[in-house]
Structure 1
Amino acid sequence: MSRAGLDKDPHEVAEMFDGVARGYDRTNSVMTLGFDRRWREMTRRVLDLRPGERVLDLAAGTGVSTVEFAASGAWCVAADFSLGMLRQGRRRRNRRGVPMVAADALRLPFADESFDAVTVSFGLRNFQSTVVALREMARVVKPGGRLVICELSTPTWRPFRALYTNVLLRALPVVASKVSSNPDAYVYLTESIRDWWSQRELGELIAESGWDDVAWMNLTFGFAAIHRAVKPVRALGAGVR
Protein backbone atom coordinates (compact mmCIF):
# COMPACT_ATOMS: atom_id res chain seq x y z
CA MET A 1 0.00 0.00 0.00
CA SER A 2 1.47 3.38 -0.98
CA ARG A 3 2.15 6.04 1.65
CA ALA A 4 -0.65 8.47 2.37
CA GLY A 5 1.42 11.39 1.11
CA LEU A 6 1.57 9.87 -2.36
CA ASP A 7 -1.24 9.57 -4.90
CA LYS A 8 -3.87 7.19 -3.57
CA ASP A 9 -4.65 4.37 -5.96
CA PRO A 10 -8.43 3.81 -5.62
CA HIS A 11 -8.10 0.08 -6.19
CA GLU A 12 -5.42 -0.23 -3.50
CA VAL A 13 -7.55 1.78 -1.08
CA ALA A 14 -10.58 -0.41 -1.83
CA GLU A 15 -8.50 -3.56 -1.36
CA MET A 16 -7.19 -2.24 1.96
CA PHE A 17 -10.70 -1.60 3.27
CA ASP A 18 -11.85 -4.99 2.02
CA GLY A 19 -9.15 -6.41 4.26
CA VAL A 20 -10.27 -4.58 7.40
CA ALA A 21 -14.03 -4.87 6.85
CA ARG A 22 -14.63 -7.78 9.23
CA GLY A 23 -13.49 -5.95 12.35
CA TYR A 24 -13.56 -2.34 11.17
CA ASP A 25 -16.34 -0.98 13.39
CA ARG A 26 -15.03 -2.69 16.51
CA THR A 27 -11.50 -1.44 15.81
CA ASN A 28 -12.72 2.13 15.33
CA SER A 29 -14.48 2.09 18.68
CA VAL A 30 -11.42 0.72 20.46
CA MET A 31 -9.00 3.14 18.80
CA THR A 32 -11.17 6.20 19.50
CA LEU A 33 -12.05 5.11 23.05
CA GLY A 34 -15.67 5.00 22.02
CA PHE A 35 -15.78 8.63 20.88
CA ASP A 36 -16.75 7.53 17.35
CA ARG A 37 -20.31 6.92 18.60
CA ARG A 38 -20.54 10.43 19.99
CA TRP A 39 -19.13 11.91 16.78
CA ARG A 40 -21.69 10.03 14.68
CA GLU A 41 -24.47 11.36 16.88
CA MET A 42 -23.19 14.93 16.47
CA THR A 43 -23.03 14.42 12.71
CA ARG A 44 -26.64 13.25 12.71
CA ARG A 45 -27.70 16.34 14.64
CA VAL A 46 -25.88 18.71 12.29
CA LEU A 47 -27.46 17.00 9.27
CA ASP A 48 -30.87 17.73 10.81
CA LEU A 49 -32.61 15.21 8.56
CA ARG A 50 -36.35 15.33 7.95
CA PRO A 51 -38.72 12.56 6.85
CA GLY A 52 -38.80 12.16 3.09
CA GLU A 53 -35.44 13.79 2.40
CA ARG A 54 -32.99 11.96 0.17
CA VAL A 55 -29.53 11.59 1.68
CA LEU A 56 -26.27 10.18 0.30
CA ASP A 57 -23.89 8.73 2.89
CA LEU A 58 -20.61 8.52 0.99
CA ALA A 59 -17.68 6.33 2.07
CA ALA A 60 -20.31 4.70 4.26
CA GLY A 61 -18.31 1.54 4.98
CA THR A 62 -20.56 -1.03 6.61
CA GLY A 63 -23.40 1.49 6.80
CA VAL A 64 -23.36 1.99 10.57
CA SER A 65 -23.98 5.74 10.13
CA THR A 66 -26.44 5.29 7.27
CA VAL A 67 -28.74 3.08 9.33
CA GLU A 68 -28.73 5.63 12.14
CA PHE A 69 -29.54 8.44 9.69
CA ALA A 70 -32.42 6.40 8.23
CA ALA A 71 -34.08 6.29 11.65
CA SER A 72 -35.02 9.94 11.05
CA GLY A 73 -37.41 8.90 8.27
CA ALA A 74 -35.11 10.19 5.52
CA TRP A 75 -34.38 7.93 2.52
CA CYS A 76 -30.66 7.19 2.86
CA VAL A 77 -28.23 5.54 0.46
CA ALA A 78 -24.94 4.02 1.64
CA ALA A 79 -22.24 4.30 -1.03
CA ASP A 80 -18.69 2.97 -0.79
CA PHE A 81 -15.88 1.88 -3.11
CA SER A 82 -15.13 -1.21 -0.98
CA LEU A 83 -17.31 -4.19 -1.81
CA GLY A 84 -16.00 -5.93 1.30
CA MET A 85 -17.34 -3.15 3.51
CA LEU A 86 -20.74 -3.19 1.79
CA ARG A 87 -21.03 -6.99 2.05
CA GLN A 88 -20.17 -6.82 5.75
CA GLY A 89 -22.84 -4.17 6.24
CA ARG A 90 -25.48 -6.23 4.44
CA ARG A 91 -24.77 -9.21 6.66
CA ARG A 92 -24.65 -7.39 9.97
CA ARG A 93 -26.94 -4.40 10.15
CA ASN A 94 -29.07 -3.74 7.10
CA ARG A 95 -32.37 -4.54 8.81
CA ARG A 96 -33.96 -1.30 7.65
CA GLY A 97 -33.38 -2.16 3.99
CA VAL A 98 -30.98 0.76 3.45
CA PRO A 99 -29.81 0.72 -0.20
CA MET A 100 -26.08 -0.02 -0.50
CA VAL A 101 -24.30 1.00 -3.70
CA ALA A 102 -20.74 0.45 -4.90
CA ALA A 103 -19.56 3.87 -6.03
CA ASP A 104 -16.42 5.84 -6.87
CA ALA A 105 -16.55 9.21 -5.08
CA LEU A 106 -14.90 10.90 -8.07
CA ARG A 107 -17.55 9.59 -10.52
CA LEU A 108 -20.77 9.10 -8.60
CA PRO A 109 -23.43 6.98 -10.36
CA PHE A 110 -26.22 9.44 -9.56
CA ALA A 111 -28.01 12.09 -11.60
CA ASP A 112 -27.52 15.81 -11.03
CA GLU A 113 -29.41 17.23 -8.04
CA SER A 114 -30.59 13.82 -6.79
CA PHE A 115 -30.16 14.42 -3.04
CA ASP A 116 -31.16 16.93 -0.39
CA ALA A 117 -27.95 16.28 1.57
CA VAL A 118 -24.65 14.43 1.32
CA THR A 119 -22.43 13.36 4.19
CA VAL A 120 -19.02 11.70 4.65
CA SER A 121 -17.76 10.35 7.95
CA PHE A 122 -14.05 9.54 8.26
CA GLY A 123 -13.69 8.82 4.53
CA LEU A 124 -12.86 12.07 2.77
CA ARG A 125 -9.13 11.77 3.44
CA ASN A 126 -9.05 8.46 1.53
CA PHE A 127 -10.26 9.91 -1.77
CA GLN A 128 -7.68 10.34 -4.51
CA SER A 129 -8.68 13.98 -5.00
CA THR A 130 -10.44 15.89 -2.25
CA VAL A 131 -11.51 18.76 -4.52
CA VAL A 132 -12.86 16.51 -7.29
CA ALA A 133 -14.87 14.54 -4.73
CA LEU A 134 -16.29 17.73 -3.18
CA ARG A 135 -17.31 19.02 -6.61
CA GLU A 136 -18.91 15.70 -7.47
CA MET A 137 -20.88 15.82 -4.23
CA ALA A 138 -22.05 19.32 -5.15
CA ARG A 139 -23.21 18.00 -8.52
CA VAL A 140 -25.56 15.40 -7.03
CA VAL A 141 -27.04 17.70 -4.36
CA LYS A 142 -29.95 20.03 -5.05
CA PRO A 143 -29.43 23.82 -4.87
CA GLY A 144 -29.79 24.76 -1.24
CA GLY A 145 -28.83 21.22 -0.22
CA ARG A 146 -26.45 20.42 2.61
CA LEU A 147 -22.96 18.98 2.96
CA VAL A 148 -21.79 17.58 6.32
CA ILE A 149 -18.33 16.07 6.77
CA CYS A 150 -17.04 14.47 9.95
CA GLU A 151 -13.32 13.76 9.82
CA LEU A 152 -10.35 13.33 12.11
CA SER A 153 -8.57 16.65 12.35
CA THR A 154 -5.91 18.75 14.09
CA PRO A 155 -6.18 19.08 17.89
CA THR A 156 -6.46 22.74 18.84
CA TRP A 157 -5.00 22.54 22.36
CA ARG A 158 -1.19 22.57 22.02
CA PRO A 159 -0.35 20.07 24.80
CA PHE A 160 -2.94 17.62 23.47
CA ARG A 161 -1.73 18.16 19.90
CA ALA A 162 1.81 17.16 20.91
CA LEU A 163 0.51 14.08 22.73
CA TYR A 164 -1.69 13.19 19.76
CA THR A 165 1.11 13.54 17.19
CA ASN A 166 4.00 12.03 19.13
CA VAL A 167 2.24 9.31 21.13
CA LEU A 168 -1.30 8.46 20.07
CA LEU A 169 -0.74 8.30 16.31
CA ARG A 170 2.37 6.17 16.78
CA ALA A 171 0.42 3.84 19.04
CA LEU A 172 -2.49 3.29 16.64
CA PRO A 173 -0.83 0.51 14.56
CA VAL A 174 0.18 -1.26 17.78
CA VAL A 175 -3.37 -1.13 19.14
CA ALA A 176 -4.74 -2.20 15.75
CA SER A 177 -2.50 -5.26 15.79
CA LYS A 178 -4.52 -6.52 18.76
CA VAL A 179 -8.03 -5.89 17.45
CA SER A 180 -7.97 -5.46 13.65
CA SER A 181 -8.41 -8.13 11.00
CA ASN A 182 -5.67 -6.42 8.94
CA PRO A 183 -3.30 -4.46 11.23
CA ASP A 184 -0.94 -3.38 8.40
CA ALA A 185 -3.70 -1.22 6.92
CA TYR A 186 -3.61 0.99 10.00
CA VAL A 187 -0.08 2.10 9.15
CA TYR A 188 -1.59 3.74 6.06
CA LEU A 189 -4.55 5.10 8.02
CA THR A 190 -2.19 6.66 10.58
CA GLU A 191 -0.24 8.35 7.79
CA SER A 192 -3.45 9.62 6.20
CA ILE A 193 -4.45 11.22 9.51
CA ARG A 194 -1.02 12.80 9.99
CA ASP A 195 -1.00 14.25 6.46
CA TRP A 196 -4.58 15.54 6.50
CA TRP A 197 -5.69 19.16 6.19
CA SER A 198 -6.30 21.38 9.21
CA GLN A 199 -9.84 22.54 9.93
CA ARG A 200 -9.32 25.89 8.18
CA GLU A 201 -7.53 24.35 5.20
CA LEU A 202 -10.34 21.86 4.65
CA GLY A 203 -12.90 24.65 4.98
CA GLU A 204 -11.10 26.59 2.25
CA LEU A 205 -11.08 23.54 -0.02
CA ILE A 206 -14.82 23.09 0.49
CA ALA A 207 -15.45 26.73 -0.46
CA GLU A 208 -13.21 26.43 -3.53
CA SER A 209 -15.19 23.37 -4.62
CA GLY A 210 -18.47 25.22 -5.06
CA TRP A 211 -20.04 25.26 -1.60
CA ASP A 212 -21.23 28.31 0.35
CA ASP A 213 -21.71 29.14 4.04
CA VAL A 214 -18.82 26.89 5.11
CA ALA A 215 -18.43 26.45 8.86
CA TRP A 216 -16.91 23.90 11.20
CA MET A 217 -16.99 22.83 14.82
CA ASN A 218 -14.33 20.93 16.76
CA LEU A 219 -15.08 17.69 18.58
CA THR A 220 -13.01 16.43 21.52
CA PHE A 221 -10.38 19.21 21.46
CA GLY A 222 -10.19 19.07 17.65
CA PHE A 223 -9.35 15.37 17.52
CA ALA A 224 -12.23 15.33 15.03
CA ALA A 225 -14.20 18.12 13.36
CA ILE A 226 -17.52 18.53 11.58
CA HIS A 227 -17.61 20.78 8.51
CA ARG A 228 -20.91 21.88 7.04
CA ALA A 229 -21.80 23.86 3.91
CA VAL A 230 -24.69 24.62 1.57
CA LYS A 231 -24.88 24.33 -2.22
CA PRO A 232 -25.58 27.77 -3.70
CA VAL A 233 -28.97 28.46 -5.21
CA ARG A 234 -28.20 29.73 -8.71
CA ALA A 235 -30.12 30.83 -11.74
CA LEU A 236 -31.39 28.05 -14.01
CA GLY A 237 -28.58 26.75 -16.20
CA ALA A 238 -25.74 28.01 -14.02
CA GLY A 239 -23.17 25.39 -13.14
CA VAL A 240 -21.16 24.66 -10.06
CA ARG A 241 -18.20 27.00 -9.94
Structure 2
Amino acid sequence: MGDRGEDAHSAGLRAGLDKRPADVAAMFDRVARRYDLTNTVLSGGRDAAWRRATREALDPRPGQTILDVAAGTAVSTVELAAGGASAIACDFSQGMLRAGAARPVPKVAGDAMALPLADESVDGVVISFGLRNVADPDAALREFRRVTRPGGTLVVCEFSSPTWAPFRTVYTEYLMQALPRIARAVSSNPEAYVYLAESIRAWPDQAALAGRIQAAGWSDVAWRNLTGGVVALHRARRS
Protein backbone atom coordinates (compact mmCIF):
# COMPACT_ATOMS: atom_id res chain seq x y z
CA MET A 1 0.00 0.00 0.00
CA GLY A 2 1.21 3.50 -0.77
CA ASP A 3 1.07 6.51 1.54
CA ARG A 4 -1.84 8.14 -0.33
CA GLY A 5 -4.62 5.66 0.29
CA GLU A 6 -6.30 3.38 2.79
CA ASP A 7 -7.06 -0.22 2.01
CA ALA A 8 -10.22 -2.09 2.91
CA HIS A 9 -8.68 -3.91 5.86
CA SER A 10 -7.47 -0.70 7.54
CA ALA A 11 -10.77 1.03 6.85
CA GLY A 12 -12.68 -1.88 8.36
CA LEU A 13 -10.52 -1.88 11.47
CA ARG A 14 -11.05 1.84 11.96
CA ALA A 15 -14.83 1.50 11.78
CA GLY A 16 -15.81 0.75 15.34
CA LEU A 17 -12.39 -0.77 16.16
CA ASP A 18 -13.43 -4.06 14.58
CA LYS A 19 -10.92 -6.65 15.79
CA ARG A 20 -11.63 -9.69 13.64
CA PRO A 21 -8.45 -11.77 13.98
CA ALA A 22 -7.95 -12.22 10.24
CA ASP A 23 -8.18 -8.47 9.65
CA VAL A 24 -5.83 -7.58 12.51
CA ALA A 25 -3.32 -10.23 11.38
CA ALA A 26 -3.47 -8.90 7.82
CA MET A 27 -2.86 -5.36 9.07
CA PHE A 28 0.23 -6.46 11.00
CA ASP A 29 1.46 -8.43 7.97
CA ARG A 30 1.51 -5.14 6.08
CA VAL A 31 3.36 -3.13 8.75
CA ALA A 32 5.91 -5.89 9.52
CA ARG A 33 8.67 -4.68 7.20
CA ARG A 34 9.34 -1.45 9.11
CA TYR A 35 7.52 -2.26 12.36
CA ASP A 36 10.52 -2.08 14.70
CA LEU A 37 11.78 1.21 13.25
CA THR A 38 8.31 2.74 13.45
CA ASN A 39 7.91 1.71 17.10
CA THR A 40 11.23 3.28 18.03
CA VAL A 41 10.39 6.55 16.31
CA LEU A 42 6.81 6.80 17.63
CA SER A 43 7.86 5.98 21.20
CA GLY A 44 10.66 8.53 21.18
CA GLY A 45 13.14 5.72 21.71
CA ARG A 46 11.43 4.50 24.91
CA ASP A 47 10.56 1.07 23.47
CA ALA A 48 13.87 -0.50 24.55
CA ALA A 49 13.41 0.69 28.14
CA TRP A 50 9.85 -0.67 28.18
CA ARG A 51 11.14 -4.08 27.03
CA ARG A 52 13.75 -4.12 29.79
CA ALA A 53 11.15 -3.18 32.40
CA THR A 54 8.90 -5.99 31.16
CA ARG A 55 11.68 -8.56 31.52
CA GLU A 56 12.48 -7.26 35.02
CA ALA A 57 8.81 -7.53 36.04
CA LEU A 58 8.71 -11.16 34.88
CA ASP A 59 12.20 -11.96 36.25
CA PRO A 60 12.72 -15.04 34.04
CA ARG A 61 15.23 -17.60 35.30
CA PRO A 62 17.39 -20.23 33.58
CA GLY A 63 15.42 -23.41 33.08
CA GLN A 64 12.07 -21.64 32.82
CA THR A 65 9.90 -21.57 29.71
CA ILE A 66 8.34 -18.21 28.85
CA LEU A 67 5.69 -17.59 26.21
CA ASP A 68 5.82 -14.19 24.51
CA VAL A 69 2.37 -13.64 22.99
CA ALA A 70 1.89 -11.09 20.19
CA ALA A 71 5.67 -11.17 19.93
CA GLY A 72 5.76 -9.61 16.47
CA THR A 73 9.28 -9.73 15.09
CA ALA A 74 10.55 -11.34 18.35
CA VAL A 75 12.53 -8.32 19.57
CA SER A 76 10.76 -8.67 22.92
CA THR A 77 11.36 -12.43 22.97
CA VAL A 78 15.11 -11.99 22.62
CA GLU A 79 14.98 -9.60 25.59
CA LEU A 80 13.08 -12.16 27.68
CA ALA A 81 15.65 -14.84 26.85
CA ALA A 82 18.59 -12.65 27.88
CA GLY A 83 18.68 -14.12 31.40
CA GLY A 84 18.89 -17.71 30.22
CA ALA A 85 15.22 -18.67 30.13
CA SER A 86 13.75 -20.43 27.10
CA ALA A 87 11.48 -17.84 25.47
CA ILE A 88 9.05 -18.69 22.68
CA ALA A 89 7.71 -16.06 20.28
CA CYS A 90 4.03 -16.50 19.41
CA ASP A 91 2.11 -14.32 16.96
CA PHE A 92 -0.85 -14.74 14.62
CA SER A 93 0.78 -12.57 11.95
CA GLN A 94 2.92 -14.74 9.69
CA GLY A 95 4.39 -11.58 8.19
CA MET A 96 5.67 -10.43 11.57
CA LEU A 97 7.22 -13.81 12.33
CA ARG A 98 8.90 -13.83 8.91
CA ALA A 99 10.26 -10.33 9.51
CA GLY A 100 11.91 -11.61 12.70
CA ALA A 101 13.09 -14.92 11.25
CA ALA A 102 16.76 -14.14 11.89
CA ARG A 103 16.25 -13.70 15.63
CA PRO A 104 17.49 -16.82 17.46
CA VAL A 105 14.40 -17.82 19.45
CA PRO A 106 11.73 -20.47 18.77
CA LYS A 107 8.67 -19.12 16.96
CA VAL A 108 5.13 -20.43 16.64
CA ALA A 109 2.07 -19.07 14.87
CA GLY A 110 -0.86 -18.82 17.23
CA ASP A 111 -3.89 -16.80 18.32
CA ALA A 112 -3.90 -15.38 21.86
CA MET A 113 -7.43 -16.77 22.35
CA ALA A 114 -6.45 -20.33 21.32
CA LEU A 115 -2.79 -20.91 22.07
CA PRO A 116 -1.13 -24.00 20.52
CA LEU A 117 0.23 -25.14 23.89
CA ALA A 118 -0.77 -27.75 26.46
CA ASP A 119 -2.30 -26.91 29.82
CA GLU A 120 0.19 -25.73 32.46
CA SER A 121 3.13 -25.97 30.07
CA VAL A 122 4.95 -22.64 30.66
CA ASP A 123 6.30 -20.77 33.67
CA GLY A 124 5.25 -17.34 32.50
CA VAL A 125 3.32 -15.48 29.84
CA VAL A 126 4.12 -12.00 28.55
CA ILE A 127 2.09 -9.90 26.15
CA SER A 128 3.44 -6.49 25.17
CA PHE A 129 1.28 -3.97 23.30
CA GLY A 130 -0.90 -6.75 21.97
CA LEU A 131 -3.78 -7.39 24.36
CA ARG A 132 -5.79 -4.42 23.13
CA ASN A 133 -5.69 -5.85 19.59
CA VAL A 134 -7.25 -9.17 20.62
CA ALA A 135 -10.92 -9.62 19.69
CA ASP A 136 -11.75 -10.84 23.22
CA PRO A 137 -9.06 -9.78 25.72
CA ASP A 138 -10.84 -11.52 28.61
CA ALA A 139 -10.80 -14.84 26.74
CA ALA A 140 -7.09 -14.31 26.06
CA LEU A 141 -6.38 -13.68 29.75
CA ARG A 142 -8.15 -16.94 30.62
CA GLU A 143 -6.17 -18.73 27.91
CA PHE A 144 -2.90 -17.36 29.32
CA ARG A 145 -3.89 -18.82 32.69
CA ARG A 146 -4.64 -22.20 31.12
CA VAL A 147 -1.13 -22.63 29.73
CA THR A 148 0.66 -21.30 32.84
CA ARG A 149 1.84 -23.60 35.62
CA PRO A 150 0.63 -22.92 39.20
CA GLY A 151 2.86 -20.26 40.69
CA GLY A 152 3.67 -18.89 37.25
CA THR A 153 3.57 -15.25 36.26
CA LEU A 154 1.68 -13.07 33.81
CA VAL A 155 3.04 -9.71 32.69
CA VAL A 156 0.98 -7.40 30.50
CA CYS A 157 2.81 -4.38 29.07
CA GLU A 158 0.28 -2.09 27.43
CA PHE A 159 -0.42 1.52 26.66
CA SER A 160 -2.50 3.06 29.43
CA SER A 161 -3.73 6.34 30.88
CA PRO A 162 -1.21 9.05 31.84
CA THR A 163 -1.59 9.93 35.51
CA TRP A 164 -1.18 13.71 35.16
CA ALA A 165 -4.33 15.21 33.62
CA PRO A 166 -2.65 18.05 31.61
CA PHE A 167 -0.20 15.58 30.08
CA ARG A 168 -3.04 13.13 29.39
CA THR A 169 -4.70 15.78 27.22
CA VAL A 170 -1.48 16.47 25.30
CA TYR A 171 -0.88 12.75 24.90
CA THR A 172 -4.35 12.15 23.45
CA GLU A 173 -3.77 14.93 20.92
CA TYR A 174 -0.43 13.34 19.97
CA LEU A 175 -2.09 9.96 19.46
CA MET A 176 -4.84 11.22 17.21
CA GLN A 177 -2.94 13.88 15.23
CA ALA A 178 0.86 13.64 15.41
CA LEU A 179 1.22 9.86 15.51
CA PRO A 180 -0.47 9.18 12.14
CA ARG A 181 1.57 11.98 10.52
CA ILE A 182 4.85 10.59 11.85
CA ALA A 183 3.82 7.08 10.78
CA ARG A 184 3.40 8.30 7.20
CA ALA A 185 7.10 9.12 7.14
CA VAL A 186 8.42 5.84 8.54
CA SER A 187 5.80 3.08 8.31
CA SER A 188 5.15 0.68 5.46
CA ASN A 189 1.39 1.02 6.14
CA PRO A 190 0.76 4.40 7.82
CA GLU A 191 -3.04 4.16 7.87
CA ALA A 192 -2.80 1.18 10.24
CA TYR A 193 -1.45 3.56 12.87
CA VAL A 194 -4.70 5.53 12.84
CA TYR A 195 -6.41 2.34 14.02
CA LEU A 196 -3.65 1.74 16.57
CA ALA A 197 -4.04 5.27 17.95
CA GLU A 198 -7.78 4.79 18.29
CA SER A 199 -7.29 1.43 20.01
CA ILE A 200 -4.96 3.02 22.58
CA ARG A 201 -7.46 5.79 23.33
CA ALA A 202 -10.28 3.25 23.77
CA TRP A 203 -8.31 0.93 26.07
CA PRO A 204 -9.24 0.72 29.81
CA ASP A 205 -7.11 2.48 32.39
CA GLN A 206 -4.80 0.78 34.88
CA ALA A 207 -7.38 -0.07 37.54
CA ALA A 208 -9.95 -1.33 35.04
CA LEU A 209 -7.42 -3.63 33.36
CA ALA A 210 -6.32 -4.96 36.77
CA GLY A 211 -9.94 -5.85 37.48
CA ARG A 212 -10.24 -7.75 34.23
CA ILE A 213 -7.04 -9.70 34.90
CA GLN A 214 -8.34 -10.69 38.32
CA ALA A 215 -11.73 -11.64 36.87
CA ALA A 216 -9.91 -14.02 34.49
CA GLY A 217 -8.66 -16.00 37.49
CA TRP A 218 -5.27 -14.44 38.20
CA SER A 219 -4.11 -13.59 41.73
CA ASP A 220 -1.94 -10.87 43.31
CA VAL A 221 -2.63 -8.41 40.49
CA ALA A 222 -0.59 -5.22 40.66
CA TRP A 223 0.66 -2.62 38.24
CA ARG A 224 3.51 -0.16 37.77
CA ASN A 225 3.35 2.95 35.60
CA LEU A 226 6.08 3.67 33.07
CA THR A 227 6.67 7.06 31.40
CA GLY A 228 4.04 8.74 33.56
CA GLY A 229 1.38 6.15 32.79
CA VAL A 230 1.76 6.22 29.02
CA VAL A 231 2.53 2.54 29.54
CA ALA A 232 1.56 0.31 32.47
CA LEU A 233 3.06 -3.02 33.50
CA HIS A 234 0.49 -5.34 35.07
CA ARG A 235 1.83 -8.39 36.91
CA ALA A 236 -0.19 -11.33 38.26
CA ARG A 237 0.31 -14.84 39.61
CA ARG A 238 -1.28 -18.14 38.62
CA SER A 239 -2.53 -19.69 41.87
Residue 223 in 1 paired to residue 219 in 2? no
Q: Deviations over 1:66-124 (max 9, x none)?
A: 01111211011000000000000004xx1x3x110000111111000000000001101
Q: Which residue matches 1:155?
A: 162
Q: Deviations over 1:32-57 (max 9, x none)?
A: 10011111110011111100100000
Q: Which moved more, 1:169-178 or 1:131-140?
A: 169-178
Q: Which residue matches 2:135?
A: 128
Q: Which residue matches 1:137?
A: 144
Distance 2:182 2:134 in 1: 25
Secondary structure in structure 2 of the residue aligned to 1:146 = strand
Q: Which residue matches 1:180?
A: 187
Structure 1: where are the runs of 5+ without partners?
233-241
Residue 117 in 1 paired to residue 121 in 2? no
Q: Which residue matches 1:66?
A: 77
Asked if the contact 2:176–2:194 (Cα under 8 Å) also holds between the matched residues in 1, the reply is no
Secondary structure in structure 1 of the residue aligned to 2:153 = strand
Residue 29 in 1 paired to residue 40 in 2? yes
Secondary structure in structure 2 of the residue aligned to 1:16 = helix
Asked if the contact 1:146–1:230 (Cα under 8 Å) also holds between the matched residues in 2, the reply is yes
Report how many aligned residue pairs link the two structures.
228
Q: Structure 1's 4 and 51: CA in aligned 2 closer, same or farther, altered over 3 A?
A: farther
Q: Deviations over 1:136-164 (max 9, x none)?
A: 00000001100001101100001100101
Amino acid at match of 1:88: A
Q: Which moved more, 1:57-66 or 1:157-166?
A: 157-166
Distance 1:5 1:170 in 2: 18
Distance 2:89 2:15 in 1: 25
TM-score of the pair, normalised by structure 2: 0.93
Amino acid at match of 1:71: A
Q: Which moved more, 1:159-168 or 1:100-109?
A: 159-168
Q: Which residue matches 1:3?
A: 14
Deviation at 1:168, TM superposition (A): 4.0
Q: Return structure 1 stretches of 4+ with deviation > 4 angstroms.
A: none
Asked if the contact 1:173–1:183 (Cα under 8 Å) also holds between the matched residues in 2, the reply is yes
**Which one of the candidate residues 18, 24, 27 is aligned to 1:13?**
24
- Whichever structure has more helix as a proportion of its residues is 2
Q: Which residue matches 1:205?
A: 212
**Which one of the candidate residues 83, 86, 95 is aligned to 1:75?**
86
Deviation at 1:166, TM superposition (A): 2.2
Distance 2:116 2:109 in 1: 9
Instruction: Note the 1:89-108 alignment, pairs <5 A.
Output: 89-91=100-102, 94=103, 96=104, 98-108=105-115
Asked if the contact 2:17–2:195 (Cα under 8 Å) also holds between the matched residues in 1, the reply is no
